[in-house]
Amino acid sequence: MLLAQISDLHIKRPGALAYRRVDTGAYLARCVVALNELVPRPDAAIMTGDLVD
């Protein structure tokens, strides 16, 4: 089984930036696209750490 771990997402509400500069939602979307393009693709993704701010 192939697992992907994504840690410390710090997701903010749409339009809000973490640390006044990081669009965490956009970075998460890019991460999901990248994971889906992997060969072989992970069987599951595990999110850990600080999920929201």
pLDDT digits over 5-50, tens only?
Answer: 999 999 999 999 999 999 999 999 999 999 999 999 999 999 999 9
Compute the distance between CA of residue 1 and CA of residue 29 in angstroms, rounded to an integer.
23
Q: Which residue has the higher pLDDT, 40 or 53?
A: 40
pLDDT score, position 52: 80
Is this prediction's pTM over 0.85? no
Q: Other CB atoms closer than 10 Å to residue 46's CB: what's the count?
A: 10
pLDDT value of position 51 = 87
22 within domain boundaries:
yes
Q: Which structural domain, as residue segments, surrounds residue 43?
A: 3-48
Q: Which residues pair with 48 in a beta bridge?
A: 7
Residue 53 lies in a domain: no
Q: What is the pLDDT of residue 34?
A: 97
pLDDT at 48: 95
> What's the number of domains the chain is made of?
1
